[in-house]
Amino acid sequence: MISTSIFPGRYVQGDQALNILADEVLRQGNSALVIADKFVFEQSKDAIEQALGQQLDFKLEPFSGECCDEEIARLGKVFAEHSATVIIGIGGGKTLDTAKAVSNKQNCPIIVVPTIASTDAPCSALAVIYNTDGSFKRYEVLPHNPNVVLVDTNIITHAPVRFLVAGMGDAFATWFEAEDCRLKQGANMTGRVGCMSAYALARLCHETLLEYGLLAKQACENNIVTPALEHIVEANTLLSGLGFESGGLAAAHAIHNGLTAIPSTHKYYHGEKVAIGLQAMMFLTDRPSATIDLVFDFCQSIGLPICLADIGMQEPTDEELMQVATRACATGETIHNEPYEVTPRRVMHCLKAADAEGRRRKSMLC
């Protein structure tokens, strides 16, 4: 058996790390296209220009908001017109995925600068491509991971806390999914099984979240950088990224992809829907009641969704849930990495079971 794990070229994290962005860019080239989401473009244009300084020729270009084939093609034209040699993506997960996909098309180095810790997208050689309406289209596996991932934790603490919490929802699925892949010897994102370091990093991600999650949320609420905040940003970004990509994905992310078929879920973040997928996964995979309690307790403690109403599905019908389940079980989906029987009917029932548990817990708070 051949195992394979993949990692970003460099990972840089710390308070005010943006100050050394130019140093990292110059290791890759001297002319850059900077793709920034609209909020970053409007609020941080001066800071970006100051960070890049006078040493670089660069063009700032706003991201449209959706990681879709149309936007990737548009930005490719901008790259060619500017004669750039490096792409820098600054923003959230969709901005970074788009920048990675553009760099692949243009065959150039990619530097990603996440401004939120809401997903594990930054470190991966994976771009999640959506349709223009926000529904899931495909995973695009890129030939290499980002050349540089630079995370300024001061920037992270000034983003809405909901982003950090959503990132913990995404990261919390990492070990559970990697463990099921390990048991089944299911494929990671390279198409092969992971090595033992990948599964160990996924486990470290899990332990870090349980230990520091609430403390990091409190730090972010107060716009301060603390060791707990640093640990959780690393867990959300690096450990979860390495854990999912080299350990593998399973039911939680497949159910997330199914949930994107329901328009009312589109305004909720990736990690919030992954948390719902993880809760359903607990029932699908027949986890012990103590593990189910652990998952719901953690999600509830930091403010993640714990029932379908929390992600916009107020009164879901069986038809809607079967639509989610059918998409989650599509050929090639990661749910087939589960070492258990998987059918749309079972997934639908487990979504209902998890929803019932979440509603029960909410009723106890009244």
Catalytic residue among 37, 231, 270, 310: 270
69 in a labelled binding site: no
Is 124 assigned a ligand-binding role in the annotation?
yes
Whether 3 has a binding-site annotation, put simply, is no
Q: Output the six-digit token pair for 204.
A: 């470290």
Residue type, 155: I
Signed CA dihedral, 167, 141, 143, 94: sign only:
negative
Asked whether residue 351 is marked as a ligand-binding residue, the answer is no
The response to whether 18 counts as a known ligand-binding position is: no
37 labelled as ligand-binding?
no
Q: Any known ligand binding at 96?
A: yes
Q: How far apart are CA 258 and CA 354, in angstroms?
A: 16
272: left (phi over 0), alpha (psi -120 to 50) or beta: alpha
Does 301 show up as a binding residue in the annotation? no
94 belongs to an annotated ligand binding site: yes
Residue 15 annotated to the active site: no
Question: Is there a binding annotation on residue 93?
Answer: yes
Choose the catalytic residue: 170, 180, 310, 355.
170
**In angstroms, how far is CA 20 from the centroid of its own chain?**
25
> Do the beta carbons of residue 277 and residue 255 sit within 8 Å?
yes
Label each residue of 288-338 as H, E or C. CHHHHHHHHHHHHHHCCCCCHHHHCCCCCCHHHHHHHHHHHCCCCCHHHHC
> Is 253 labeled as catalytic in the residue annotation?
yes
Please tell me whether 115 is known to bind a ligand.
yes
Q: How far apart are CA 164 and CA 235, in angstroms?
A: 11
DSSP letters, 161-214, are HHHHHHHHHHHHHHHHHHHHHHHHT---TTSSBPPHHHHHHHHHHHHHHHHHHH
According to the annotation, is 293 in a ligand binding site? no
- Side-chain half-sphere CA neighbours of 228 within 13 A: 17
CB under 8 Å to 272, separation ≥6 — which residues? 166, 169, 304, 305, 310, 311
> Is there a binding annotation on residue 238?
no
Give the residue among 37, 45, 46 at the shortest CA–CA distance from 66.
37
Which of 37, 180, 206, 256 is catalytic? The answer is: 256
What are the tokens at 179? Answer: 């463990």
Check the annotation: does 95 bind a ligand. yes
Pairing of strands 136-141, 126-130: antiparallel
Selecting among 37, 206, 253, 355, the annotated active-site residue is 253
> How open is the CA angle 256-260-263, to the nearest 5 degrees?
145
CA distance 75 to 307: 38
Active site positions, annotated: 170, 253, 256, 270
Binding-site residue set for glycerol: 120, 170, 253, 270
Binding-site residue set for NAD(+): 93-97, 115-118, 124, 126, 130
Binding-site residue set: 93-97, 115-118, 120, 124, 126, 130, 170, 253, 270
